[in-house]
Amino acid sequence: MPGAAAPAVLLACTLALGSPAFAGTLRGSIVGGREVAPHSRPYMASLQLDEKHICGAVLVRPRWVLTATHCEVAWNLSDFRVVLGAHNLNTPEPTQQVFNITRAVPYPLYNAQQDIHDIQLLKLHTSACRTSSVRPMPLPGRNRDLRPGSQCHVMGWGETTGHDDPSAALLEATVVVQPQDTCNTSWRGALTRDMLCASTGTRERRGVCVGNSGGPLFCRGQLQGVVSFSSMVCGSPHFPDVYTRVSAYVSWIRDVLQHY
């Protein structure tokens, strides 16, 4: 795995965590997104299989990241890793911290057929070093609903239009929370109260696609959603992207953090 010299502030972390990552071919996409300022989203994590990005994740505590359960890692933890502090996944940046995963804790009532309770916590082999490029994201209050019309941001690595080659740089798209009944009309009643959906609210295509599962929906300075599923037509205005509503799981998250 390619390495790079680390600045003094990261030297101890680099010795413990491994070399900066080089992810190779990417499989994610943010449709209608824009590149963010490098390292301006310090909570963003890349979940990788055999050193290739497969899902987004978000740092919620120094040793824990939150992602979607359908980003299955429990079958062979040793094949997966988490990369923090990255902006360009094709560059071995000195800000990057690389972790093995020692435990996967999916929500116990997860149902893959119905896409419900699609949330899990992954424990890193050691705590992340807090830097300007690596910092946890605050959790929301318990069972706090987002009002329809709330503006949020979803982020990940990949395409900007849904038709071009993937970008290795971190991208972000602005989306708007949609009413639950609108979502259920589009998705034929598939959404539960523990989900929320978001789109542009217009005819413009903007949102998530393959590879952005597990990534964060960031609203009003807090983590409000985890990417769960979307339409086959990425960013479709007719089928808003669906997220696991994090506020519904805050008690469970805190319980896992305390007991594991």
Catalytic residues, by residue number, are: 70, 118, 213
Phi, psi of 244 (to 5 degrees): -75, 130
Question: Tokens 């933890």 map to which residue?
Answer: 77
Percentages (nearest 5) of helix, strand, coil residues in the chain: 15, 35, 50
CA angle centred on 99, ends 97 and 102, rounded to 5°:
160
Q: Is 77 left (phi over 0), alpha (psi -120 to 50) or beta?
A: alpha
Q: Give the CA diameter of the chain.
A: 54
Per the DSSP assignment, residues forming a β-bridge with 47 are 55, 82
Query: Any residues with CB less than 8 A from the CB of 206 and at least 6 apart, and which?
Result: 31, 32, 33, 173, 174, 175, 199, 200, 235
Residue 258's SS3 state is helix
CB 66 within 8 A of CB 60: yes
Which token pair is 40? 């301006």
